Amino acid sequence: MTPAQTDAFFATLRAANPQPETELAYTNVFELLAAVLLSAQATDVSVNKATRSLFALAPTPARMLALGVDGVEAHIRTIGLYRTKARHLVETCRILIERHGGHVPRDRAALEALPGVGRKTANVVLNVAFGEPTMAVDTHIFRVANRTGLAPGKTPLAVEQGLLAAIPPGYLVDAHHWLILHGRYICQARQPRCGACQVRAQCAFEPKTAAR
């Protein structure tokens, strides 16, 4: 995708959705971190259903820690890998309290030092909570970047670096959301909805048949 095509690609997405937002439900930075941690290999819809009751009881690291692993598990049993995630979340709360005064750090290294928090999760928190121009490459973004020709790469890190280099600075803060939403609802894995795609003119993908 040429620079001109990339600019047109994101200009179109911005015109359609000027203020994109995550579909995870949260009311503070800690809840965002917890929701993203729980969302690995799970849908946002399933996470939101589980965290509705969890966050009502434990909207802070101290209150989540007080619930304990068993208490957290009771709320997130419908989410995949819930036992491991409950342990990670409770230990994360302990570290936030002991090392960061109960606050979520605005620092990549500190975020990635938390149990269950990898580069993707750290990027989401830095972008959504703190407005930093990071790119959290999930399966949707990986697919869209490769399929469209926007930033082809064989690994999530390669795609992340390619996107950060290709996307004009004026679009970077919101690009993560636009690409996820595009992959989730239009550029779907099994059957991309090319007939409904607003950025088809810039896309390198040539489907055998265009789905509507």
- For tokens 């598990």, name the residue: 73
From residue 106, give the alpha-carbon distance in Å to each of 124, 126, 130, 132: 12, 7, 7, 10
Residue 63, token pair as written in the block: 């209150």
- For tokens 């690995």, name the residue: 40
Q: How far is CA 76 from the centre of its chain?
A: 19
Distance CA 186, CA 198 (A): 9
Closest to 102 measured CA to CA, from 155, 156, 59: 59
Q: Tell me, yes or no, if 138 is annotated catalytic.
A: yes
Q: Tell me, yes or no, if 107 is annotated catalytic.
A: no
Query: Which residues, in sequence order, are CB contacts of 100 under 8 Å at separation 6+?
Result: 110
Distance CA 4, CA 190 (A): 29
| Buried-state track 64-98, b at ≥16 Cβ within 10 A, e below 16 | bbebeeebbbebbeebeebeebbebbbebbbbbbe
Catalytically annotated residue among 138, 154, 174, 208: 138
Catalytically annotated residue among 44, 70, 107, 120: 120
Contact 123, 136 (CB under 8 A): yes
Residues belonging to the active site: 120, 138
